[in-house]
A and B are shown apart, each in its own frame.
Chain A
């Protein structure tokens, strides 16, 4: 009997055979960064998830909690990975008080399904994240990936109000509550955001929900020069207009979006084919508010030497907004090999964007640049081949992007890269953060290193 069969067999005895999978082809589908688990467990209750962790503790195994696995490549390669804990079996709405705009939902609930439930009450959860069709709410929080609606609604830390989870000692714990304002005890649930499974298995999450706006609008402007696009963006920020999203695209990113939408027969602004830097703004509110914002944008753009400035049709705003939400997803599959870096910069400037583009140019690679709110830049270098030369070029670019961000007192995180590059740069991220402080948190949640060891920055 192999070790694999051993683990699966003993797990089946503990949790029940129906919950455990060990067929080779299924295990392969749960691989993370080349590591294949020995067994997959699909807990049917939070208590069963806790039992899995206690089993792993006793057997000195490492577990990795997963949702739909759409973003399991985020984070560093796991140090060890024996048991995949698939949380998609827990997908109920535990509590929804529409009158209070609060929601308590199991970790495995898909975002798309949740959206439909909330829509019936005229509400939504502002987690506009990539892989929206498949992603679970638990996986989304654990991944910490940006929401395209962050500018208006904030990030998850602003509307996650409580959580239940299994910690690394195999105990069911909770933090926060189901009320919108609460300072009872430590805000441990905030630590789960972006924790990549390293603090425990999320079983349930509590959120405040938001009313759907009655109307929405979009605006697209194009500029020959990057500097002009950034000036327009800066002027919009200064005007204090309440926008849902404000995003700058380089010509390459815009062309890629246009090509994908055209291929799938969806409407899209034909102007995206022009060799320009584009500024996309979306906004929502009452009809009057939407109209006012559209007018203000037109006013701001005047005298800014824009090659293009127009309001988007609702259908265009929807498809373009959807593509920007999904950018991580289509960017990573757009070429044979690529690196996607997420830079978080204290101050956005044309010179750093130009420097990023130039790095790609020098390596004779295409680069897609997307600039979001809060100084966040998605920088993608695209290689047509996955051979040694291409990997070497991409590795150099990934390291260069990190160095650039560091020089600007910001951070760069590698969201997607060939495994070899991920491994090469794994130790690099720890330079910017206070590693001992981070390690104290991990140690408190998971003293034995049983949940997702090594996955978070610094190899914690």
Chain B
């Protein structure tokens, strides 16, 4: 007997199918398999995958699921890196891929109203003719959806100067776990009362499902310069980031690739990264021509003081795109050297960058991993990459232990567990490193104020073990490797 089919109530399946039509409902095991992964190392299988087309449909699906006491989880493109869009409690997965319309563009007010399934980059494509763009740019911008960005409060290389998703969201339409449709925020981003928009962005789908998003659009700066600073050692590159930050220069982006990683990337992308270097910094400055000139010169001088071998300036858009192509396709390149990789997302104060990289190296050595580093150095958001073979159980277990130690080290340095990937079902058991019982109790009350039965995206953010009744998963227990 098919276990997936067995676990969903036949009446619920019938009701949802009659609401959405058979072509918008998947219940066969082989179809569901496609939805048991995201970009993380976690895994969980939904009982039913459905494609909604309107907010009203989402509301009705949620009501039907609630009547049958079945959990619901929302999903965009499934590019998440913390298991946020996995059905940890089984149940109904609502995929927003078909709610992908841009509903309204207001060039005058610099706002766009979009459905959650709109791909991040498509917002920019729709408004760039007017010199506008949507600033948050996760590396997956070509495929990830804005709904997922909102749920996870996604970042990206250019958030250093422009802020993460939450800084660019003005209003949301939401469906609560009881099916109620509500709106929070306002078009100009200044609604009276509590900043509910600020609460819902980054709540990882644990409070409500987002069905419509009003985004703020930014104006393209008149000038941009992209620099590649080449260093003999990663220590020198780290020091350069510390000095750039401390001297008050705010580049639009400041990305680091260590020597090992850049060689893997170069072999695949041919971005022009020098193979014999210890590390490179990919830096971008944007703004008025005069500001860009000044900042580029200042960055070059700081890098030289930190023993940079060479600072190259991208001559034209082609060179610039190539340098970025290397950065944005890095994770694809890593797929060529190991069957699987595990990307961490710890954050540290930028003044601790050299120390952090040293600690990561030590931890890698201890467990026999070569841990690559390709990350948002400018805002202290590390992405250590542990390469492993999932068929080797011992190696995988060691990888998880090493990852946990790295996160501990970040917290010891005054940092946090995750800068942009979210807690999800991957780091929830580590939340106790940062939060006390009183903190959890308040977060739990906020959670319960909107999602009292944990019917929406259960098993995320909160440690499963943490006091007060906790996650009331009704269905299957989670599978996969939780940290």
Interchain nearest-CB distance for A390 vs B (Å): 27
In the docked arrangement, what's the CA distance between A171 and B445, Å? 13
Provide the residues of chain B in CB contact with A375, threshold 8 Å.
188, 190
Closest chain B residue to A456 by CB distance?
A: B193
Type the 1/0 row for B178-203, where 1 means its CB is closer than 8 Å to any CB of A: 00001110111111111110110111
Name A293's closest neighbour in chain B (CB-CB).
B288
- Which listed residue (A173, A193, A374, A409) contacts B189, Cβ 8 A? A374
* C-alpha gap A241/B435 in the complex (Å): 42
Complex CA gap A12/B380 in Å reads 46
* Cross-chain contact A187 with B186 (CB below 8 angstroms): no
Say yes or no: B291 contacts A187, CB within 8 Å: no
B347 at interface by CB-CB < 8 Å: yes
Which of A17-25, A28-36, A96-104, A381-389 is the contact stretch?
A96-104
* Interface-facing stretch out of A176-184, A252-260, A301-309: A176-184
From A179, A293, A344, A411, B348 is in contact (CB under 8 Å) with A179
Q: Known interface pairs A186-B202, A444-B445. Does A456 touch B194 (Cβ–Cβ under 8 Å)?
A: yes
- In Å, the complex CA distance between A340 and B143 comes to 47
Residues on A with C-beta less than 8 A from B441 are 169, 171
Selected from B108, B131, B349, the residue in CB contact (under 8 A) with A102 is B349
- Interface: B419 (CB within 8 A): yes
B245 to A99, Cβ gap below 8 A?
yes
**Minimum Cβ distance to chain B for residue A219 (Å):** 16
The segment out of A3-11, A80-88, A132-140, A281-289 that lies at the interface is A281-289
- B109→A101 contact, CB < 8 A: no
Whether, in the assembled complex, A350 has its beta carbon less than 8 Å from a beta carbon of chain B, the answer is no
User: Is B393's CB within 8 Å of the partner chain A?
Assistant: no
A457 proximal to B (CB < 8 A):
yes
A99 engages B350 (CB within 8 Å): yes
Q: Tell yes or no: B153 within 8 A of A by CB.
A: yes
Contact (Cβ within 8 A) A179 B419: yes
Determine if A171 and B222 form an interchain contact, defined as CB atoms under 8 angstroms apart.
no
Among A60-68, A108-116, A417-425, A432-440, the stretch in contact with B: A432-440
Instruction: Decide if A16 is an interface residue (CB 8 Å cutoff).
Output: no
The CB with the most chain A CB atoms within 10 A, among B293, B415, B416, is that of B416
In this complex, what residue of B is CB-closest to A411?
A: B192
Given the interface pairs A157-B195, A167-B442, A182-B418, the reply to whether A177 lies near B450 with Cβ below 8 Å is no
Confirm or deny: B422 has a beta carbon within 8 angstroms of a beta carbon on chain A: yes
Bound Cα distance from A374 to B192, whole angstroms: 14
Which of B186, B192, B414, B442 is A188 in contact with, Cβ under 8 Å?
A: B442
In the assembly, what is the distance between CA of A184 and CA of B381, in Å?
12
Q: Please count how many residues in chain A sit with their CB below 8 Å of the partner chain's CB atoms.
A: 76
Q: Is the Cβ of B153 less than 8 Å from the Cβ of A183?
A: yes
Please give, as numbers and ranges, the residues of chain B lying within 8 Å of A293 by CB-CB distance.
288
A194 at interface by CB-CB < 8 Å: yes
**Residues of chain A from 307 to 324 with CB closer than 8 A to chain B in the complex:** none
Nearest-neighbor residue (CB-CB) of A175 within chain B: B439
Q: How far is the CB of B227 from chain A (nearest CB, A)?
A: 18
Chain A residues within an 8 Å CB radius of B220: 240
CB distance A191 to B188 under 8 Å?
Answer: no
Q: Is the CB of A185 within 8 A of B423?
A: yes
* Contact status B446-A188, CB under 8 Å: yes
Query: Is A347 an interface residue, CB under 8 A from the partner?
Result: yes
Distance in angstroms between the alpha carbons of A380 and B379 in the assembled complex: 42
Assess whether B19 is interfacial by the CB under 8 Å rule. no
The contact of A97 among B152, B349, B438, by CB within 8 Å, is B349
Q: Tell me if B442 and A98 are in contact (CB < 8 A).
A: no
Taking the nearest CB of chain A, how far is it from the CB of B283, in angstroms?
17
Q: Once bound together, how far apart are the Cα atoms of A460 and B418, in whole Å? A: 33
* A178 lies within 8 A of B190 (CB): no
A288 engages B294 (CB within 8 Å): yes
What distance in Å separates the Cβ of A46 from its nearest Cβ neighbour in chain B?
Answer: 12
Quick check: is A332 within 8 A (CB to CB) of the other chain? no
Using A292-B288, A346-B188, A458-B193 as known contacts, say yes or no to A184 and B418 having CB atoms under 8 A apart: yes
For B447, the chain A residues whose CB sits under 8 A away are 186
Interface positions of B from 77 to 103, Cβ below 8 Å from A? none
Is B338 part of the contact surface with A, judged by Cβ < 8 Å? no
The answer, yes or no, to whether A445 is at the interface (CB within 8 Å) is yes
- Nearest CB of A to B444, in Å: 9
Are A183 and B202 in contact, with the CB atoms below 8 A? yes
Report if A346-B431 is in contact (Cβ < 8 Å); known contacts: A177-B416, A286-B294: no
**Which of these binds chain A: B7-15, B159-167, B270-278?**
B159-167
Tell whether B434 is near chain A: CB-to-CB under 8 Å: yes
Contact, CB under 8 Å: B443 / A188: yes
B376 / chain A contacts, CB cutoff of 8 Å: 181
* Chain A residues whose CB sits within 8 angstroms of the CB of B202 once the complex forms: 183, 186-187
Mark contacts of A442-457 with chain B using CB atoms, 8 A cut-off: 1 yes-contact digit, 0 otherwise. Answer: 1111010000000011
* Closest B residue to A198 using CB positions: B194
Q: Which residues of A contact B242 (CB under 8 A)?
A: 99
Residues 253 to 303 of chain B near chain A (Cβ within 8 Å): 287-291, 293-294
Closest to B159 in A: A181
CA distance A88 to B189 in the complex (A): 31
**Shortest distance between the CB of A202 and any CB in chain B (Å):** 14
- Distance between Cα atoms of A122 and B427 in the complex (Å): 37
Nearest chain B CB to A26's CB is how many angstroms away? 32
Q: Are A178 and B349 in contact (CB under 8 A)?
A: yes
In the complex, the answer to whether B188 meets A441 with C-beta atoms within 8 Å is: no
The B433-483 residues at the A interface (CB cut-off 8 A) are: 434-436, 438-439, 441-443, 445-450, 461
A122 B248 Cβ-Cβ under 8 A: yes
Q: Residues of B contacting A185 with CB < 8 Å?
A: 423, 431, 434-435, 439, 443, 461
Chain B residues within 8 Å of A174, by CB? 435-436, 439
In the complex, A443→B131 CA distance in Å?
Answer: 44
Q: Which residue of chain A lies nearest to B153 when distances are taken between CB atoms in the complex?
A: A183
The answer for the CA separation of A181 and B190 in the assembled complex, in Å, is 23
Q: Is the CB of B290 within 8 A of A292?
A: yes
Contact of A444 (CB < 8 Å), options: B293, B423, B446: B446
Q: Does A89 contact B (CB under 8 A)?
A: no
Shortest Cβ distance from B206 into A: residue: A186
Q: Mark B396-435, 1 if CB is under 8 A from A, else 0.
A: 0000000000000000001111111111000100010011
Distance from A401 Cβ to chain B, minimum over Cβ atoms (Å): 14
Select which of B109, B152, B190, B416 is within 8 A of A182 by beta carbon.
Answer: B416
Give A288's nearest chain B residue, CB to CB. Answer: B290
Contact A191 B294 (CB under 8 A): no
Chain B 339-381 interface residues, beta-carbon cutoff 8 Å to A: 347-352, 376, 379-381
Q: How far is the CA of A230 from the CA of B210 in the complex (A)?
A: 36
Contact status B183-A434, CB under 8 Å: yes
Q: Which residues of B contact A444 (CB under 8 A)?
A: 442, 445-446, 448-449
Known: A184-B416, A212-B248, A460-B193. 20 other contacts (CB 8 A): A97-B351, A97-B414, A99-B246, A100-B245, A101-B245, A154-B163, A154-B167, A167-B438, A177-B416, A179-B380, A180-B379, A184-B418, A185-B423, A185-B439, A193-B195, A194-B195, A432-B192, A434-B196, A441-B199, A445-B445
**Which 5 interchain pairs have the tightest Cβ spacing?**
A211-B248, A190-B198, A99-B351, A171-B438, A288-B290
A-B contact pairs, 24 of them (CB 8 A): A99-B350, A167-B438, A171-B441, A174-B436, A177-B415, A179-B415, A181-B347, A181-B380, A183-B423, A184-B431, A187-B201, A190-B198, A191-B198, A193-B195, A242-B291, A347-B109, A374-B189, A376-B190, A432-B192, A433-B193, A434-B184, A438-B193, A444-B442, A444-B446
